[in-house]
Amino acid sequence: MLRTHTCGELRSEHVGQRVTLCGWVDRTRDHGQTVFLDLRDRYGRTQVMVSPDSGAEALQIAKDLRGEDVALFSGTVRPRLEGKSNEKLDTGEIELVADEVRLLNRCLTPPFFPNQAELPGEETRLKYRYIDLRRESMQQTLILRSRIIKAMRDYFAEHNFIDVETPILGRSTPEGARDYLVPSRVHWGKFFALPQSPQLYKQILMVAGYDRYMQVARCFRDEDLRADRQPEFTQLDLEMSFVDAEDIIGMIDGLMKRLAKEFLGIDLQLPLPRITYDEAMRRFGHDAPDIRYGMEIVDASSLARQTEFRVFRGAVDGGGFVRGIKIEKRAEEFSRKRIDELTEFVKHDFGAKGLAWLRCEADGTLWSPISKNLEPAVLDGFKTAFACQPGDLILLLADSWEVTCKGLHGLRKRLGAELQMYDPKQMNFSWVVEFPMFDRDPEEERWVAMHHPFTAPRPQDLAKLKESPAECRAVAYDLVINGYEAGGGTIRIHDSEVQQSVFDLLGITPEIAKNRFGFLLDALRYGAPPHGGIALGIDRVVMLFGGLDNIRDCIAFPKTQRAMDLMTEAPGDVEGKQMKELHIQIETPPVKK
């Protein structure tokens, strides 16, 4: 190898040794007859000194070096001069006195430098990702990602799981997000689909007798993106046979305890807390609530029925709700302008009709522009329901259940961050359980699976599949970390008749079912054991454990929110010959007016 040590390796015990370092020039300081450089690689930085004693050629090369040039330095390690140590560096007590300097590769003037304080916009960083990945924070994040994945593999190996790879080219199946399709050259008019998850294959593995399976799996979903979502992502996927939900939750509890101890220094108390889906929606308005702080939702619909105030009374008479949150002791921070901004926020982002508010005055009374429209008994009722004290502020939405959930969750999330109601370094782990089996698609007026069509209903709810699907609850469980869904899983249907009943409810006819996943239905008739599993989003776990707020910062080569790779300019055009071989012809889309 060209180098004998890395740039983060040398210490006082190496003084007097002859070594060779290779890396990128981080900073240079030319003092005329002497040049000092910081040489950097992913392991750290080392100060290098080149002087006339190094030789005229070596000194000239050092003087010509610029930031991000790749260079080699050979010489002797010595202690830094008294008072010149750098405590911020692990190598700060020594320096390399070089007598050989070689330029390995000249760097063009980069669009930005990895060590600069002010970073360019994300588009520039993604276009020149190879420069961005040189930044210390990016390198530390990818190292953390590697360590977390290794710890996951080690944990499941200790628990007798086997690592099985499942196909990337598979069959397109209904439900779920939109598939990425791959045309087949050999089978004209036929398409593979990239997997949204290894769901079908891991269930087949359970039927095949591999009772504990895991995989670090690549998954693909052609859906609209957010800061915490990517079109291709990595998940820790596992499946177990002869288990119930408690076994799987317990297995993940143990994994989280190990990861939290190793990477966060936190000793988690098990079992992790749980709340039901209904409780999460009632208290927080979301199925992945951030419970690091309060500001829980209060339902004041019963009070709204007692008033003649048209906004409140009209909402509940129309089947809606009046619900709100309380901000404690911070009312003076909310000017009329700020409340107007919050009003526009809930109207624009969540479709709310408006935002009402009540402020608790020093004498304990509630006041706002609407208080004159509310009867004294109703105002007293609001004060009691929200346990108001002077200085508190109530924010209220009068709308449908869905809008009040989304709007109040959005307000709670925004204000929790703006008012610094929690320590950003704090980590909270919990489970949300007892999800509904089905959701109603309002546009197509049909039932859709809340998780996926292979989810098992609770045994006590089997009869509700036909009688009252809306009341049917699934054996489903989501792991929530700091208000993010970090993973989700279910116990699967292993009875072919129950599976067909669910398909019938979802409008998946026997013909469609046989065509799309008849192999799974057949497998369930050949001795399928009770089984279930879960998938953890590795990208999201790394984001949370790394204290990041953007999932693209923990992926080496991510896509933008428009699903583009700015560095390689993918997706891109392909040659006409390839299109001809695939029998594909592109139609120009109509121009939007």
For the stretch 387-432, pLDDT in tens is 999 999 999 999 999 999 999 999 999 999 999 999 988 999 999 9
- Computed on alpha carbons and rounded to an integer, the radius of gyration of the chain in Å comes to 30
Beta-carbon contacts of 58 under 8 Å, excluding residues fewer than 6 positions away, are 50, 98, 99, 100, 101
- The answer to whether the peptide bond before residue 271 is cis (omega within 30 degrees of 0) is yes
Contact 533, 240 (CB under 8 A): yes
Query: 591 or 415: which carries more pLDDT confidence?
Result: 415
Q: Is the pLDDT of residue 64 over 80?
A: yes
Q: What pLDDT, on the 0 to 100 scale, is given for residue 176? A: 66
The structure tokens 């949204």 sit at: 196
Question: Would you state the pLDDT for residue 125?
Answer: 97
pLDDT exceeds 70 at position 363 = yes
Q: Tokens in use for 316?
A: 């509940």
Q: List the single range of 79-83, 151-155, 323-327 with lowest mean pLDDT.
A: 79-83
At residue 446, the pLDDT reads 85
pTM of the model: 0.92
Residue 586 has pLDDT above 90, yes or no: no
Nearest 5°: phi and psi at 34? -130, 140
Average model confidence (pLDDT) for the chain? 94
Enumerate residues 6+ apart whose C-beta is below 8 A from 196: 176, 177, 179, 219, 220, 221
Q: How confident is the model at residue 508, as a pLDDT? A: 86
Neighbours of 92 (CB within 10 A): 17
How many residues in the chain? 593
Rounded to 10 degrees, the C-alpha dihedral 490/494/497/498 comes to -20
Strand bridging mode 429-433 / 274-276: parallel
593 pLDDT band (50/70/90 cuts)? low
CB 174 within 8 A of CB 168: no
* Count of C-beta atoms within a 10 Å radius of residue 223: 14
pLDDT at 499 over 90: no
Predicted confidence (pLDDT) per residue in 510-549, tens digit? 888 888 888 888 898 899 999 999 999 999 999 999 999 8
Residue 450 has pLDDT above 70, yes or no: yes
Task: Give the largest CA-CA distance in the chain.
Answer: 93
The mean pLDDT of 164-170, rounded to a whole number, is 96
The domains of the chain are located at 12-105, 139-276+429-555, 293-418
Q: ω into residue 571 within 30 of 0, thus cis?
A: yes
Quickly name the fold that domain 293-418 has. Gyrase A; domain 2 (3.30.1360)
Q: Is the pLDDT of residue 89 over 90?
A: yes
Pairing mode, strands 484-491 and 212-220 = unpaired
List, for residues 215-259, the tens digit of each pLDDT value.
999 999 998 766 668 999 999 999 999 999 999 999 999 999 999
Instruction: Name the CATH architecture for the domain at 12-105.
Output: Beta Barrel (2.40)
As a whole number of angstroms, the distance between CA 30 and CA 320 comes to 72
pLDDT in the model for residue 567 = 96
pLDDT value of position 175: 58
Higher pLDDT, 468 or 149: 149
Tell me the per-residue pLDDT of 266-279, one tens digit each, with 9 for 90 and over: 999 999 999 999 99
Which candidate, 396, 332, 390, 323, places its Cα nearest to that of 358? Answer: 396
Q: At 174, is the pLDDT very low, low, confident or very high (cuts 50, 70, 90)?
A: low
CATH for 139-276+429-555 is 3.30.930.10
State how far the Cα of 110 lies from the Cα of 213, in Å rounded to an integer.
46
